[in-house]
Amino acid sequence: MVSTVVGAPVERREGLEKVTGSARYAAEHAPPRRVWAWPVPATVARGTVTAVDTAAAMEQPGVLTVLTHRNAPRLAEPDDATLAVLQNPRVPHRGWFVALVVAETLEDARAGAAAVQVSYEPEEHDVSLTMTHPGAYVPEEANGGYPAATEQGDPERAFASSAVQVDADYRVPPLHNHPMEPHASTAQWDGDRLLVHTSSQGSTAVQTVLAGLFRLPEDGVTVVAEHVGGGFGSKGTPRPDVVLAAMAARQTGRPVTLALPRRHMPAVVGHRAPTLHRVRLGAEPDGRLTSLIHEVTTHTSRIKEFTEQAAVPARTMYAAAHLRTVHRVAPLDVPSPSWMRAPGEAPGMYALESAMDELACALGMDPVELRIVNEPETEPHSGKPFSSRHLVECLREGARRFDWAHRAPRTAGPLRIGTGVAAAMYPVLVQPSTASAGACPDGTFLVRINATDIGTGSRTVLAQIAADALGVPLERVRTEVGRSDLPSASLAGGSSGTASWGWAVHEACTRLTARLATHTGPLPPDGLDAHADTAGQADADSPWARHAFGAHFAEVAVDTVTGEVRARRLLGVFAAGHILNARTARSQFVGGMTMGLGMALTEGSTMDAAFGDFTQSDLASYHVPAHADVPDIEVHWIDEDDPHLNPMGSKGIGEIGIVGTAAAIGNAVHHATGTRYRELPLTPDRVR
């Protein structure tokens, strides 16, 4: 069936509400008698709280209470140790919350927090990651359930005997998610029932976690995340704000809002862990890889094992008979790292795609052709056939549109101008979800699912999927998303939202259509309903290797006087199944590439070894790209017809845009200057 609805550049349904300010976010829900909370972060990197003096804080105007580990409600032990807030006096890292002030106004709470006196017994700390850190080990699994280490053939020997070799180290610093809307929650109790409005990528999971922590039945907790101002992974799991708001509301008997101050975020909402890479590529003179070795060392905190799976893409990208990938992780006295857009792939493909460029230079070969020569027939690691793989088409189409053939570096005054290319990939992930679809007597249809719209347009695309499955005009479909009392659904993460929710919506609508087909006479007053649950379908193991692919092309100008790198052109071509909404999809690709531009040129965080803290903790010091930094970004895609995905034939698109962008820019800097920089970001102090 050819649809005019799915694929169309439909506008976001909540767009007007958002740009006119009537869309309400978590901190803007103001129940009567609502009060505010402000946290107190630890000022040592490791140690124990010995005393909290709250007397001065309690004398501040408006202060209602100060929660500490001594008086805070006792929680059940969480699976996620970062949520065990105010439960004991241990300080696992600097910035860990050691008290919470609740007051009538935001200003009162902040002033109260400044007056809390905390004493510590500090201990020696270690926050410095090195490739040879003695505490580093190979865990059982890297993130995502991938084995931490794989080996095929004899990679060391094959590398040693290969005609052309690249052996290079790359460094990606810690990176911070920094969504526009900070993590924020408004919590209120009605007897033993808890209602929270929170900024989350998935409120079904928040509901489950809160029910566990506060020992409540799941249906005693309602979690609403109607509008969410971005997350980039940091809102994929509940964060301390929602737990603290619920504790404070319980303690005070008042609705409580806690919006995390931005400077507190890097310590408590996760970050992309730094990754130290060693990549070895061995090749024949014709460019064919014989050996590929990608080794990654990263850090985690003392309370949580989190291993950024940065060597995983090397298992999928290129044909190499001898292949080794390994992750090592060092537990340090650092904040717990967590998910950040394309966790694993973003830093991993920076290293791998930079090394491929180095290999092309060593061979004297075009880097586009080098990648094409190494196109595998089946997935190198698993041996599975690809459900669809159009990387070569993306590279060729991008090269044509970018005019890659005429890429000679040039000079313009103090500027050196060059171009670079890199590949992109992101796995196809999908999770079980449930949905309902209803036909109403007034001729409209109502789709209900606890999907989350974090700014991506998911309400809109789900309405498109429903209209398509029902065979009705888009205007007749209404959607309800973003509440835990709707049919439960997976989170907006892993670029899996649209596929997972869309699958359930499609199935509910297909069932409803069948019910309507056999129904005679007018609809009953409350309409007709159908439900779907994709458990057992959506999470089934596939015999296919399923990934989206893409190609990035970048043109940069490097100022030889100041060391400043400016991106002049970015062009991406992606192959991600059927694109379901051309407008919102383009925004996702552009957004990912913009974040990749930041990763390449401006974003980076450093651990202060003495203080044990990130020195860049606000947007004045952690530089995300602004409009003036973002050149025209061109995005194209190759529509794929892949029957092995889901009923819509779609692959995820939320993350692939950031994958490979930084490598394309770094490779362009090398093309422009002849110098290879192997540490991000490419700030003027490095590029000289």
Q: Is 660 in the site for ligand MOS (CB under 6 A)?
A: no
Least distance (Å) from ligand MOS to the CB of residue 652?
9
Establish if 270 lies at the interface with ligand MOS (CB under 6 A).
no
Asked if residues 232 and 177 have their Cβ atoms less than 8 Å apart, the reply is yes
What is the token pair recorded at 435?
């949905």
Asked whether 437 and 513 are in contact (CB, 8 A), the reply is no
Omega of the bond leading into 9 within 30 degrees of 0 (cis): no
Cβ at position 338, least distance to ligand MOS in Å: 8
Q: Which residue has the tokens 């552009």?
A: 590
Does the active-site annotation cover 17? no
- Kindly tell me which residue out of 174, 179, 343, 398 binds ligand MOS, with binding defined by CB under 6 A: 343
Q: Which stretch binds ligand MOS (CB under 6 A): 229-237, 442-450, 537-545, 577-585?
A: 229-237
For the sheet with 322-331, list strands across it: 149-152, 322-331, 289-300, 275-283, 164-172
**Look-up: residue for tokens 């990679």?**
155
- The single residue among 254, 328, 341, 448 that binds ligand MOS, judged by CB under 6 A, is 341
Pairing assessment for the beta strands 322-331 and 434-439 based on DSSP bridges: unpaired
- Collapsing DSSP to helix, strand or coil, 258 comes out as strand
**Least distance in angstroms from the C-beta of 306 to ligand MOS:** 12
- The dihedral formed by the CA atoms of 224, 229, 232 and 235, expressed in degrees to the nearest 10: -30
| Site for ligand MOS contains 659 (CB under 6 A) | no
Of the pair 162, 309, the CB lying nearest ligand MOS is at 309
Residue 610 vs residues 132, 172, 299, 338: alpha-carbon distances, Å: 20, 21, 17, 23
Single out the residue of 127, 258, 340, 417 in contact with ligand MOS (rule: CB under 6 A). Answer: 340
By the rule CB under 6 A, 502 interacts with ligand MOS? no
DSSP 398-449: HHHHHTGGG---EEETTEEEEEEEEEEEEE------EEEEEE-TTS-EEEE-
**H or E element that contains 537:** none
The least CB distance from residue 346 to ligand MOS, in Å, is 9
| Count, residues near ligand MOS per rule CB under 6 A | 10
Give the nearest distance from C-beta 498 to ligand MOS in angstroms: 13
Binding residue for ligand MOS, selected from 339, 544, 553, 622, defined by CB under 6 A: 339
- Sequence-distant (6+) residues with CB within 8 A of 9 are 581, 582, 583, 586
Q: Binding residue for ligand MOS (CB under 6 A) from 494, 604, 612, 625?
A: 494
345 vs 397, beta carbon nearer ligand MOS: 345
Are the C-beta atoms of residues 686 and 558 closer than 8 Å to each other? Answer: no
User: What's the rounded Cα separation, in Å, for the pair 182 and 27?
Assistant: 10
The region of 110-118, 231-239, 281-289, 629-637 touching ligand MOS under the rule CB under 6 A is 231-239
Query: Closest approach of Cβ 218 to ligand MOS, in Å?
Result: 23
Sole window of 97-105, 213-221, 230-238, 461-469 interacting with ligand MOS (rule: CB under 6 A): 230-238
CB of 234 to ligand MOS, least distance (A): 8
Sort residue 173 into left (φ over 0), alpha (ψ -120 to 50) or beta: beta
- Chain position whose Cβ is nearest to ligand MOS: 233
Question: Which one is catalytic: 17, 107, 655, 679?
Answer: 655
Half-sphere exposure of 212 (CA within 13 A, CB side): 13
555 contact partners, CB below 8 Å, separation of at least 6: 417, 418, 419, 567, 568, 569, 668
For ligand MOS, which stretch binds (CB under 6 A), given 279-287, 337-345, 404-412, 545-553? 337-345
Structure tokens at 117: 């006196």
544 binds ligand MOS (CB under 6 A): no
179 binds ligand MOS (CB under 6 A): no
519: left (phi over 0), alpha (psi -120 to 50) or beta: beta
Using the rule CB under 6 A, is 174 a contact of ligand MOS?
Answer: no
- Comparing CB distances to ligand MOS, the nearer of 54 and 456 is 456
313 in Cβ contact with 73 (< 8 Å): no
**657 near ligand MOS, judged by CB under 6 A:** no
- Given candidates 493, 592, 647, 681, which one binds ligand MOS under the rule CB under 6 A? 493
Q: Phi first, then psi: what are they for 147, rounded to 5°?
A: -60, 140
In the chain, DSSP finds a helix count (H) and a strand count (E) of 14, 27
Kindly state whether residue 337 participates in binding ligand MOS, applying the rule CB under 6 A.
Answer: no
* CB closer to ligand MOS, 268 vs 359: 268
Write the binding mask 407 to 446 for ligand MOS: x where contact by CB under 6 A, - elsewhere. Answer: ----------------------------------------
Q: Which residues bind ligand MOS (CB under 6 A)?
A: 201, 231, 233, 236, 339-341, 343, 493-494
User: Catalytic positions, please?
Assistant: 655
